[in-house]
Structure 1
């Protein structure tokens, strides 16, 4: 049983957020962020940053992931697709009761999934 090691937050790990902030301080060039993650994480800092020019979420791409990433970054392939997860802000976990299974938004629920989240 591995439930004792579940994530406690959907925040980016502190060390990763610290790295992004340090890079913002020392570079004049736009930052292009690649997220490798098996699930949704709060990306609002990156979204709101004036120095982060792009964000690419690639999940866990496997052994050929580096090659796949390079073909996208260098313009050899355009991955016109949609995310397979909804990216929620970290505050979402406090806004919705885990016992509330309503999909549509209401006065006490911002909704669930890309279809109903507001």
Structure 2
């Protein structure tokens, strides 16, 4: 009986590990939380600022996160402008003077393949 209990615990642990999200989940959630807080401080709507309504790219093993959110269908634009965040110590700070269209940024991220990418909450498979 003891062996069965140990086996079930190990199996449950492996199952939970396999079903876990990406290693960047906490960082992405932190950045989205910051974005929503900034929008709220500007007294602007932030209903569309959700992970399942975003394009998110992670670069340089989590040092940089780029994200944009899908706009409502009645909007003239498909996406909000892109925001860029840089990890400084234990937190992320929004980077200034970065292009809103996601092209030609000063770090040349647009030329790199992201380490992780998701669209509307689903991880995209990147070419290696």
Q: Which TM-score applies when normalising by structure 2?
A: 0.31
Q: Which has the larger radius of gyration?
A: 2
Q: Which TM-score applies when normalising by structure 1?
A: 0.32
Of Structure 1 and Structure 2, the greater strand share is in 2
